Amino acid sequence: MSSEESGSYVHEGEAFDRDMRYIDTRITRDARDGYGVEPGRYRLIVARACPWAHRAVISRRLLGLEDVISMGIAGPVHDWRSWSFDLDPGGRDPVLGIERLREAYFRRVPDYPRGITVPAMVDTRDGAVVTNDFQQMTLDFATEWTAFQREGAPDLYPAGRREEIDELNRWMLHHVNNGVYRTGFAGSQAEYEKAYRDLWESLDVLEERLGRSRYLMGPSITEADVRLFPTLIRFDVVYFAHFKANRQPLFTLPNLWNYTKDLFATPGFGDTVDFQQIKEHYYVVQTDVNPTRIVPLGPDLSGLLEPHDRDRFESATWGAGTAPGPVAAAERVDPAHTPWGAASL
């Protein structure tokens, strides 16, 4: 059982060390790992609270894979037995018929010894997890599922820039995406201060970078933006206070904040964010950080709806593609959990 599965995140005197060992089986066109690309065969299991799962939700929507890969959504609060499907009628995923995600893991590896994580791709034929490798998953959505992407799908991982994107993504993973966790789950003052300084130095680098182009790689959205947005959208809501990453709120950094507002207004990004589930997860589940389990009412998120200034840069948001269509009715976020549905959450 991993520390995250058991509910223990902070270890006294230690730095936070994320277990990055995942089921790395891939779903590919040539089925070289035994799993071929096939419409309707796989179910993507996510939780709207989780930033790693959020990437997969965004990628699937931008690429128009909703009718090809179904999606199950776990609730925001779980216990040591793993994510559960308490949002569904009867508390069971309607396709897989399971109450807890660990059932799908155990069908692949009995008594699976590591974290029961989202996102996870599950084979509906046998109900077993194929992969939970969130790093590779969205890259495969972009490159292996091209035959089934919607007409006008953007090229999120252009061949000529993959090395640059990979380098930036590796850096962001360690210093920003996981940097907030290293700050929040530090087990000593010294480890906290080290992680805090590294996180803010890295955010300052991104603030400067986003002063040169609309998106991280230039005028168009890429995989790098898909990976950064879930961290930024959670920053003022969770990481600033809950993880003590409190040098300053994100809204005081003009380039990062306007970039976040820009993406929030972009189809596929803001319409996949559920702020209430995000807050419930972090503040209720992580009891060694927040033992009272009190969920804060703030912050006021209405600023996300204000105009941004990112159109001052050269822009080709979708490259040679087009924006995705409306969110499917069954996958819409509850309006009450959004800035336009409530003045404050």
Active site residues: 50, 181
Residue 90 φ/ψ region, left for φ over 0, alpha for ψ in the -120 to 50 degree band, beta for the rest: left
- On whether the CB atoms of residues 129 and 122 are closer than 8 A, the answer is yes
Rounded Cα gap, residues 161 and 222, in angstroms: 10
* Bridge partners of residue 255, in order along the sequence: none
Query: How many CB atoms within 10 Å of residue 177?
Result: 21
C-alpha 227/C-alpha 54 separation (Å) is 9
Tell me 239's DSSP state.
Answer: I
Burial of residue 312, with CB atoms counted within 10 A of its CB: 0-12 exposed, 13-18 middle, 19 or more buried: exposed
Residues 44/69, Cβ–Cβ less than 8 Å: yes
- In the numeric block, which tokens belong to residue 334? 């509850």
Q: Residues with Cβ < 8 Å from 230, sequence gap 6 or more? A: 51, 52, 54, 55, 58, 177
Answer yes or no: are the C-beta atoms of 37 and 29 closer than 8 Å.
yes
